[in-house]
Amino acid sequence: MEYPAVVLEALGQLPRLETVTVHNPGPDEVAVRMAASGICHTDIGYMQYARACPVLLGHEGAGVVEQVGANVTHIQPGDHVVINWQVKCNRCRWCLSGRQDLCENVQGTAAPRFFWRDEPLNIMLNAGTFCPVAIVPAMGAIPIRRDMPLEKAALLGCAVATGVGAVLYTARVQPGENVVVIGAGGVGLNIIQGARLANAGFIIAIDLNDENLGRAASVFGATHTLNSRETDPAAAVREITGGRGVEHVFEVVGLPVLMQQGINMLARGGTLTLVGAAEREAQFSFHPRRFMSMQQWRANSRRVVAHLC
Ligand SMILES: [Zn+2]
Ligand SMILES: [Zn+2]
């Protein structure tokens, strides 16, 4: 079948709507008729850092199962599903030690299913949701209740899982710990929501956009908001916390200057968790002396984690 799909032909270009040919799913795969797909910042970032082009974009989506391969038993046509763009192998040393987030054999389809100009098309994060039909490994389609609106379910595919997951599973925020979230966009708001679920103490949202900050406080659970255009956020955080700093900072923008700012907001023994996708060549520096004296920003992958999206 042929469908219109959003294809990025080469780095630095803008994506275009192109006609692609889609083959049937293999025996361990499913075809999902997409109902909704979010635009995540990573879709935009792919214009700079996609590993392989041309590539079909989109990775945050939900839809209705259209066709299942012969070996697929957990879902059937008509089921509503969220696309999971990181299907674990459950066999590698990381999966077997409970660190599926570090899986070294993330699963895609067994063979190319999308073609453009007669050549196999790369698929962003094995999902490719910017097409009316997605072909994914069976475990890439997670069944949900049919009364869940699909345009909201789509957000579970990346923004919610990335944000809430960073709080509950990566940083493991404990009740009463104070949290700063730098960047209150789609993922940042879900970090705020996750901090609320974790019963954090102060939840301080920092952004340049008052609309984001308003939403952070009124809908998602931030206890304080700081517009960094108007105030020095590190000084404000010190003031809010009585000079102590916070146990957790989440950097959700991907800018080295904000990562450095995050370190300056940490309390003794605090943890900076990097969630934002930085540019490929970006670097940031820090004062190693503080590792020893403050035990801040521990250089251990469990503590300083790039939660990839
Ligand atoms: Zn994403
Ligand atoms: Zn694995």
Q: What is the pTM of this model?
A: 0.85
Tens-digit pLDDT profile for residues 75-126: 999 999 999 999 999 999 999 998 888 899 999 999 999 999 999 999 999 9
User: With the C-alpha atoms ordered 85, 89, 90, 92, is the resulting torsion angle positive or negative?
Assistant: negative
Give me ligand 2 centre to Cα 97, in Å: 9
Q: Share the mean pLDDT of the chain.
A: 92
Looking at residues 38-54, what average pLDDT do you find? 91
Reduced to 3 states (helix: H, G, I; strand: E, B; else coil), residue 125 is helix
> 121 or 40, which is more confident?
121
**Residues contacting residue 216 through CB under 8 Å, at least 6 positions apart:** 181, 184, 188, 189, 192, 205, 207, 222, 225
Q: What is the pLDDT of residue 8?
A: 98
For CATH 3.40.50.720, the residue range(s) in the chain are 160-294
Positive or negative, the Cα torsion across 127, 133, 138, 139?
A: positive
What pLDDT sits at residue 41? 85
Q: For residue 144, give the amino acid letter.
A: I
- Whether residue 26 is predicted with pLDDT greater than 90 in this model: the reply is yes
Point out the ligand nearest to the CA of residue 107.
Answer: 2
Ligand of minimum distance to the alpha carbon of 98: 2
Q: Which one of the ligands is nearest to 99 CA?
A: 2
What average pLDDT does range 164-189 have in this prediction? 95
Domain with CATH 3.90.180.10 in the chain: 2-157
CATH code for the structural domain at 160-294: 3.40.50.720
CA of 307 to the centre of ligand 2 (A): 16
**What's the pLDDT at 300?**
38
Which top CATH class is 2-157? alpha beta
Is-contact 128 115, C-beta < 8 A?
no
Using the mean position of ligand 1's atoms as its centre, give its distance from the Cα of residue 39 in Å. Answer: 8
pLDDT at 78: 98
Q: How far is the CA of 85 from the centre of ligand 2 (A)?
A: 14
Lowest mean pLDDT across 97-101, 215-219, 243-247: 97-101
Which ligand minimizes its atom distance to the CA of 160?
A: 1
Ligand 1 centroid vs 19 CA: distance in angstroms?
Answer: 24
What's the Rg (C-alpha) of the chain?
21
* Predicted pLDDT at 99: 84
